[in-house]
Amino acid sequence: MNPFRHLLKAAGAHPPVGTWVVSSNALAAEALGHAGFDWAVLDLEHTTTDLGDLVHLLQAVGNTRMVPVVRLPWNEPVMVKRVLDAGALTVMFPFVQNAEEARRAVAATRYPPEGVRGVMGLSRATRYGTATQALRHANQSVGVIVQIETREALDELEAIATVPGVDAVFVGPADLSASLGHLGEPAHPQVMELLARAVDRCKALGRPVGTMGASAELVAQYRAMGFDFVGVGSDLGLMMRGAQAALSALRTQDTTIVHSVTAGTLTR
């Protein structure tokens, strides 16, 4: 079974928690896996990560229990082919607007006659030709997640989510908020209302739905809505928040010490 499908099936009442890897750094990705995240998006859309970096990220995450999801830069079959040959088993397609785009996404992940994926036997995906059954089972092994990121796409949610081969839907709050005129406000009430309705609609279809937020507090609200999988932050985001919190605490302490000295209250 595809690892991400298995993760969702085994989750029960506790939605798997993931994060984003945007630094292109294999050690950071490996560390996040050991930190205990259930899944992570290795992002090719909004990062400098290239295919060579991706192979190193997949190798690093392979040393952990964290399930990798590769977000493609676009719904483009040549890139899909190369990412799958690099060893990705679950891919996320950004900005899917309608059922036809969802069908194109699925077709790019399938070998003929079910799709248009080109065949390469000596790839990392086939363990360089040693996994003799890899090609035969590839069409069933690859997982497909489609991103819904605009009001127009939400209007087409049922048609997109029910395309054969789509395993899960991911609603992106950042782009959705921008499409609604609330750029930079993913927790705007209108966005939150549409997210909650998207969960209900996907539940009615029996299709898993996920999302992500920058903070644990926001993601807790998503979990309460009923999302089946959630992501929080990113490697760089978590690092920056930790660094800023540490600096803020030290600078506050420094200020307190200075005030104490000025007031003559510092004890030795």
CATH of the domain at 65: 3.20.20.60
Q: What is the mean pLDDT of residues 201-227?
A: 97
Model confidence, pTM? 0.93
Determine the pLDDT at residue 268. 45
- Residue at 216 is within a domain: yes
List of residues 6+ apart from 44 with CB closer than 8 A: 50, 54, 70, 71, 72, 73, 79, 83
Determine the pLDDT at residue 158. 98
Given 46, 56, 188, 259, the catalytic residue? 46
Determine the pLDDT at residue 27. 98
Whole-angstrom distance, CA of residue 133 vs CA of residue 136: 5
The answer to whether 41 touches 21, Cβ cutoff 8 Å, is: yes
- Residue at 259 is within a domain: no
> Is residue 90 classed as helix, strand or coil in its secondary structure?
strand
Q: Residue 37 is part of which domain span?
A: 3-235
H or E, element range at 67: strand 67-71
Is the backbone of residue 204 left (phi > 0), alpha (psi -120 to 50) or beta? alpha
- Residue at 66 is within a domain: yes
The total number of structural domains that make up the chain: 1
- For residue range 102-140, list pLDDT tens digits in order: 999 999 999 999 999 999 989 999 999 999 899 999 999
- Amino acid identity for residue 122 in this structure: L
Tokens 């996320």 sit at which residue? 92
- Residue at 240 is within a domain: no
- Residue at 80 is within a domain: yes
Q: Is 46 a catalytic residue?
A: yes
Determine the pLDDT at residue 4. 98
- Which tokens is 218 given? 């926001």
- Residue at 248 is within a domain: no
From residue 10, how far is each of 5, 16, 68, 92, 97 by CA, in Å?
Answer: 9, 9, 16, 20, 30
- Residue at 212 is within a domain: yes
- Residue at 255 is within a domain: no
The answer to whether 209 touches 199, Cβ cutoff 8 Å, is: yes
